[in-house]
Structure 1
Amino acid sequence: MPPPRFSEQLELAAVLTAVGCSRMFVETTLVKWGATPVIDDALLVVSELVTNSVKATGVTTPDPNWAQLGKLNLIGVRLLGLERSIVIEVWDIDPRTPVVQDADFDAESGRGLFLVETVASRWGSRPAEPGKVVWAELPIQPSPGESFHE
């Protein structure tokens, strides 16, 4: 991957509200960069990746108690602006490689990575210390009159 033209990152507590916070972060950053044509796909991708990270390493009860919060982990979200694409990276402390699951049509969950695979030009994961980074690349074509900038 070529060096990014620009990047932004955010660390979040691995709790259910991290999904909404990461969506606001991604939307605000992409508007700032002039990458509005890719916002919808980027919001889908970051929602799925952050949800997976919270499920794997965080607190998923709506009203956690103090004991649960005492063991709270962090997750990270980073956006990279490349020449013709953006990369969304989400890291967590779980070292397991993510796997696309075969979810039933009626299933309420399990389709996250399938959706990421559908909208991203490519995606993958790599080890990190500790844990892993899951990333997805989305091509970007600025709208007429817009430029992709910081």
Structure 2
Amino acid sequence: MQPSSLNLAALPTAVSCSRMFVRHTLKRWNLPDQIDPAELIASELVTNAVKATGVTMPNPGWGDLEKVALINVRLAAHRDGVSIQVWDASLEPPVQPAAGAAAGAEGGRGLFIVRAVARQVGHFYPRGGGKVVWAELALDAPVPPLPRRAAKTPTIQLPLPDPDLLRKVLAGLQRL
């Protein structure tokens, strides 16, 4: 399966858009069991990317949106897993959950949740700049290869010769 990606403005609405993108893509890839955990991971990673590079105020004005950053969400299915990657323009490493973080705190547990759901989590800095934070989900069964269609040989049915029709065509051509 070809990887699939989506560019989004780094705004709070990117979280719900990324969830829809993940749901649609995994349905198309026939991986319905991965939808819920992949949506959770994508929403946490996108939330962190928006906090790192985007506009987080509830009602931004046009001036606040003038130079809004982009983020990129990418999904890839491998033989035994699905990876979710989120790129943002920040060079700051992802915020790791603090040991013994307050249970009532509203934020700061995004990567903790991702680590609890995913098989692997990490980040890297691509040559083009910014950072990519990624997580990989394990598949219960390997991703089957896409079926190949058998090549069809074209079959052309030529009409049987019709002597009367041929005489009429010849007579019409001769009159010209």
* TM-score normalised by L of structure 2: 0.77
Match in the other structure for 2:115 = 117
Gaps of 5+ in 2: 148-176
Aligned length: 143
Residue deviations 1:88-113 (CA, integer Å, cap 9, x gap): 00000001111322221010111000
Per the TM alignment, residue 6 of structure 1 is displaced from its structure 2 partner at its CA by: 2.1
Matching residue's letter, 2:11: V
Matched residues in 2 for 1:101 and 1:108: separation? 12
SS at match of 1:6: coil
Match in the other structure for 1:79 = 75
Higher strand share: 1
Per the TM alignment, residue 141 of structure 1 is displaced from its structure 2 partner at its CA by: 2.2
Q: Is the 8 A contact 2:10 2:54 kept in 1?
A: yes
SS at match of 1:15: coil
SS at match of 1:11: strand
Q: Is the 8 A contact 1:33 1:148 kept in 2?
A: no
Matched residues in 2 for 1:39 and 1:53: separation? 21
More displaced, 10-19 or 126-135?
A: 126-135
SS at match of 1:86: strand
Quickly say closer, same or farther: Cα 1:60–1:99, change in 2 above 3 A. Answer: closer
Q: What pairs up with 1:1-150 in 2 under 5 angstroms?
A: 5-102=1-98, 103-128=101-126, 129-141=128-140
Matching residue's letter, 1:116: V
Per the TM alignment, residue 42 of structure 1 is displaced from its structure 2 partner at its CA by: 0.5
Q: Which has the higher contact order (CA 8 A, sep 6+)?
A: 1
Quickly say closer, same or farther: Cα 1:93–1:53, change in 2 above 3 A. Answer: same
Matching residue's letter, 1:111: R
Structure 1 or 2, whichever has the larger Rg, is 2
Q: Is the 8 A contact 2:74 2:85 kept in 1?
A: yes
Per the TM alignment, residue 40 of structure 1 is displaced from its structure 2 partner at its CA by: 1.0
Q: Is the 8 A contact 2:95 2:108 kept in 1?
A: no
Identity of aligned pairs, percent?
A: 48
* TM-score normalised by L of structure 1: 0.90
Quickly say closer, same or farther: Cα 1:149–1:26, change in 2 above 3 A. Answer: farther
